């Protein structure tokens, strides 16, 4: 039997904020209304990702008036995932939830998501129902969701929802950083955690603009795919085999071309020349592709391993009430 109970579990909600001044007051009212109904032990960490539209003052106001609010101000705009990552670094709740600050997500959906987690799951992701986004964005998203579903073996509908609930141990174990959080569902599944989706509502953006253009979205989608494929599909053994086969094939290709050439030179070849060139050339070409893919995979792995160490100091200021219910030891 599951002894855990939503009334004793602590919850940290991490909210990335970039130029959402018009959305913050309503979002805050909703959070204030919903969170006490989930657990008495909650806090909200707003990460101000270099906003220039007055969010800083609004957030500081929330902080002065409310013990359950923590704020991280970043030096400049680093992007949503680096902003979330900074929030995760200080989040103390047993459950860590993420939520967009543009009112496209509804804090009311947090309750059912936390309930699902308490049922025995490790990561609960919000599956956006009736997505309220431009058509092009929905289509691109469908395409990438489809490819990820086919290639990773984790069968979900919506891999990139901004609303998720993680058990703290999942974030610790995955040890992700930067954009890799976007794939937390896939990585968590690969590491044996129980991942599930729960339907959530989705609202159109009423104030402010989406921070991503069509072009950035497509570019990000493609690089996302490469990251997933290289990090998951190209494990050490496969990468090694790719290198070995690359060398064997290029080696045979070069030998065939060389023998073909020698046979011609000594005048022993009668008609085998063209076939030799095609076979040797093809082997050389395929082998070179293997080596090239290995090189790209190496670069990805190298980049991801060193990225964390190279991470810059993003934080300008952290505001915390150390005696709030999640923070007090």
Q: What are the φ/ψ torsions at residue 243 (nearest 5 degrees)?
A: -65, -45
Nearest approach, Cβ of residue 98 and Mg ion (Å): 13
C-beta closer to ligand UDP: residue 16 or 221: 16
Asked if 160 and 89 count as a contact pair (C-beta separation under 8 A), the reply is: no
Size of the site for Mg ion (CB under 5 A): 2
Nearest approach, Cβ of residue 123 and ligand UDP (Å): 19
Packing angle, helices 273-310 and 236-265, rounded to 10: 150
Find which of ligand UDP, Mg ion, none residue 231 binds, CB within 5 to 8 Å per kind. Answer: none
C-beta closer to ligand UDP: residue 16 or 253: 16
Among 49-57, 103-111, 113-121, 190-198, which window interacts with Mg ion (CB under 5 A)? 103-111
Find which of ligand UDP, Mg ion, none residue 161 binds, CB within 5 to 8 Å per kind. Answer: none
- Which of 281, 246, 275, 249 lies closest to 263 in space, CA to CA? 275
Q: Token pair for residue 62?
A: 């929330």
Among 20, 43, 85, 102, binds Mg ion (CB under 5 A): 102
- What is the bridge-based pairing of β-strands 69-74 and 42-48? parallel
Instruction: Give the interface with ligand UDP as residue ranges (CB under 6 A).
Output: 16-18, 20, 49, 77, 79-80, 83, 100-102, 104, 162, 210-212
Asked if 217 and 140 count as a contact pair (C-beta separation under 8 A), the reply is: yes
Among 12, 104, 152, 250, binds Mg ion (CB under 5 A): 104
C-beta closer to ligand UDP: residue 79 or 287: 79
Find which of ligand UDP, Mg ion, none residue 93 binds, CB within 5 to 8 Å per kind. Answer: none
Distance CA 11, CA 40 (A): 9
- 132: helix, coil or strand? coil
Distance CA 20, CA 80 (A): 13
* Under rule CB under 5 A, residue 20 binds Mg ion: no
- What is the bridge-based pairing of β-strands 95-98 and 123-128? unpaired
- 2 C-beta neighbours (distance < 10 Å), count: 7
C-beta closer to Mg ion: residue 49 or 102: 102
What does the binding site for Mg ion look like in residue numbers (CB under 5 A)? 102, 104
């Amino acid at each position: 039997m599951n002894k855990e109970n939503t009334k004793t579990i602590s919850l940290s909600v991490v909210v990335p904020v970039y130029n959402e001044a018009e959305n913050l007051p309503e979002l805050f009212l909703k959070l204030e209304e919903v969170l006490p109904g989930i657990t008495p032990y909650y806090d909200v960490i707003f990460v101000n990702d270099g906003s220039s539209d007055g969010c800083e003052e609004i957030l500081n106001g929330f902080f002065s008036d409310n013990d359950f609010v923590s704020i991280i101000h970043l030096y400049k705009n680093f992007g949503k995932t680096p902003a979330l990552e900074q929030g995760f670094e200080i989040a103390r709740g047993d459950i860590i939830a993420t939520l967009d600050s543009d009112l496209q997500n509804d804090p009311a959906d947090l309750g059912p998501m936390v309930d699902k987690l308490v049922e025995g799951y490790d990561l609960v992701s919000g599956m956006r129902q009736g997505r309220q986004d431009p058509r092009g964005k929905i289509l691109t998203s469908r395409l990438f969701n489809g490819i990820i579903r086919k290639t990773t073996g984790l069968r979900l509908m919506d891999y990139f929802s901004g609303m998720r609930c993680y058990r703290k141990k999942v974030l610790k174990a995955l040890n992700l950083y930067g954009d890799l959080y976007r794939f937390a569902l896939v990585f968590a599944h690969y590491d044996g955690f129980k991942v599930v989706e729960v339907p959530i509502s989705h609202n159109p953006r009423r104030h402010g603009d989406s921070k991503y253009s069509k072009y950035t979205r497509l570019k990000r989608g493609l690089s996302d795919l490469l990251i997933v494929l290289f990090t998951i599909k190209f494990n050490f053994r496969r990468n090694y085999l790719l290198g070995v086969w690359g060398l064997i094939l290029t080696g045979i290709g070069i030998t065939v071309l060389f023998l073909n050439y020698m046979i011609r030179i000594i005048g022993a070849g009668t008609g085998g020349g063209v076939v030799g060139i095609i076979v040797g050339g093809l082997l050389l070409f395929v082998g070179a592709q293997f080596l090239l893919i290995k090189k790209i995979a190496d670069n990805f792995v190298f980049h991801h391993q060193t990225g964390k160490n190279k991470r810059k100091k993003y934080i300008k200021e952290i505001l915390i009430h150390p005696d709030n219910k999640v923070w007090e030891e």
